[in-house]
Structure 1
């Protein structure tokens, strides 16, 4: 799987209720060294309930300018949350033999936790 397989994909809870779209991925660098840096590991998915667009870097809590872009982007993404990778039950798979016309979805596990998406 590559990152673009997850971005802009609809997210459902375990009961099939839509909760938003994947707008970003969060990685942590805690794997075995790969050159000078530690290897990256997928930590979770950033899910926005209102829009499919990116945060454009405005999820960082100290970014306030240029005004009025920063507050507008934050307002558009209100309710956005981070779902840890362990809370993901199912992801789209291009090679699973299902109908290619069917919309790919990410399904979250029962009892998943919504963490703050801000950095």
Structure 2
């Protein structure tokens, strides 16, 4: 599977209720074995937006505030957006991603230090 297989795909909860669309993915960079080796990217979760199918374009970082009108518009469009951990994904099917019944909706924001 590649990331583009998940982007824009509808996301449902364990009861079949539509939660939104997958607009992005969150990864963490794990350190390499030594100073020369590059680290591995590990998928942490999916960003699910109930209102739009577009990404945050980097404005999920709380330190990004300029240009002000664009930052405010994107934050309003993404109200209700959440991070669903990859471990809470129950199934990835050709037409839909299904979350486990006990999934937790985490805040998708990143602080300026998380870059």
The alpha-carbon deviation at position 31 of structure 1 amounts to: 6.5
- Residues paired across the two proteins, number: 109
Q: Give the superposed CA RMSD.
A: 1.6
Alignment of 1:1-119 (within 5 A): 1-30=1-30, 33=33, 36-93=37-94, 104-119=95-110
Partners of 1:14 and 1:45 in 2: CA distance:
16
Give the corresponding residue for 2:113: none
Unaligned runs of 5+ in 2: 111-115
Unaligned runs of 5+ in 1: 94-103
Change in Cα spacing, 1:73 to 1:106, as seen in structure 2 (3 Å) is: same
Task: From the two aligned structures, give the one with the greater strand fraction.
Answer: 1
TM-score (norm 1): 0.86
TM-score (norm 2): 0.89
Conserved? CA contact 1:5–1:92, under 8 Å: no
Task: From the two aligned structures, give the one with the greater helix fraction.
Answer: 2
The alpha-carbon deviation at position 36 of structure 1 amounts to: 3.3
The alpha-carbon deviation at position 83 of structure 1 amounts to: 0.3
Conserved? CA contact 1:58–1:73, under 8 Å: yes
